[in-house]
Amino acid sequence: MTLKDQITDDMKTAMRAKDSERLGTIRLLLSAVKQKEVDERVVLDDIAVVAIVDKLIKQRKDSITAFTQANRMDLADKEAAELKVLEAYLPQRLSADEVAAEVRAIVAELGAELGRAVGPGDMGKVMGAVKTRLAGKAEMGQVSAAVKAALAG
């Protein structure tokens, strides 16, 4: 069963259970998936769906921060509830140590390909390689910090 099928089944379950908050979040996610499919005229695979979930989670985290600063805890709580529903669709994330190890391995591979030491000027090349390998497995903010640390040291 694909992730998209699972999300559709969860929507049906939320409808039957009359769980309006969960249903609203799942519908929002399915809407984003379908919009991407229509825009690009493709059927999305699980990796692309995870990327959409990641994007929606980042939006929720940013909103929670903004609402908390504005002292709107009612809205922050609503966003936190949506965040919890969305996080259920992410695969198991790598730990910080695992991310750092993957980044070091990629930096070593790129260094071997280029025939020289990889430095801070190669951040774009490293991030491109890391994004393809760790897509959906780690938060990109954490990955970026690990890449900077690996290139600095």
Convert the pLDDT of each residue in 9-30 to its tens digit: 999 999 999 999 999 999 999 9
Residue 110 has pLDDT above 70, yes or no: yes
Span 50-93, pLDDT tens digits: 889 989 999 999 999 999 999 999 999 999 999 999 999 988 88
Is residue 153 very low, low, confident or very high in pLDDT (cuts 50, 70, 90)? low
CB atoms inside a 10 Å sphere around CB 112: 10
pTM: 0.76
Identify the CATH homologous superfamily for domain 3-87.
Answer: Uncharacterised protein YqeY/AIM41, N-terminal domain (1.10.1510.10)
Domain 96-152 CATH (choose: 3.30.70.100, 3.40.50.360, 1.10.10.410, 3.40.50.970)? 1.10.10.410
Buried b (16+ CB within 10 A) or exposed e, 93-111: ebeeeebbebbeebbeebe
